Chain A
């Protein structure tokens, strides 16, 4: 579980996050949603420790990352897996080497065990063994995301962060990635935080959703609460689409 308490963050005197307090639960897909520029990526990066918050607390099962030294943050990061928006696979390594990388850095396994674990992770995300020896640039965007998920889970993380996992993907592949993230969250009982503004994702997998608007937490709830909520910020965001407006109107009838 990750608890964020009274988090503030500014850049060059401009406040980007204002007094954010929320909780990301274990075994659930926690989503940070909001418009582009609302501050959700900054919230995620402050939560991970890539940006240092101006004030407030981010408690990883009781451990406050904001007060940690660089070495302590590094140690905590070994319990964290992350899927980046652009996958962030290492160009100079093959698909298999990318997944083996964290194991080679931080595990005491033999080379054989490392390879076996990496292959297991890749098969878990349905990557064909033919692709193991390919470079990241030789596989599709959807496959790159799946390889990045395999790399993120290689060290059995307690916390998984996904920054816009569906960006640049077609709707079918997006659903595959969403389902994969949800399955892995439950299978490994990890705290997953997904940064998204994709409505399909939100309605498919959002167990615990935090809406950020202009740097403030505007709403929190589950996907089942969305249609019944009369929160103005939420309605502005969700029902910006005519389709969802009609769905809500149909539901209220």
Chain B
């Protein structure tokens, strides 16, 4: 199984290491043709406005939408969750992939000094998950088909729509691989 990690900018190496730990082969994606040989795509954290521009430069935005149409799984973390949202509050001009029916608000929990760590309860996980939120987006609104898997102070922070997963925190920054495992087992292998 090949997992593609979008590598235009951001914390792609941490996702790569996490999936390699779990025995997957990981391919770094910088150009559209590189999507051909992967079974699932991860869009990592980073700077969402930078990533949006770099995806547009060489047509990755269009190619990722075609990738979604082929029913393969996609997971966005933090900036990646912004990239896959259908609406970005206050930034209607920011390019986005619109893969999931949700509205996000960038840097909604505050600037860097407000970035935080907290334990979350995640649906179907037996134990809590230590989550790191960095200048995180807030999910303001979700469509009817979007399922909430975890919340923080009543905000959804991990959501699923068909084969598209979004987390506004950073599972790749800890050694806990359960969400990476969940992604492989529930969304990639079930294809």
Do A and B interact with each other, yes or no? no
Residues of chain A whose beta carbon lies under 8 Å from any beta carbon of chain B:
none
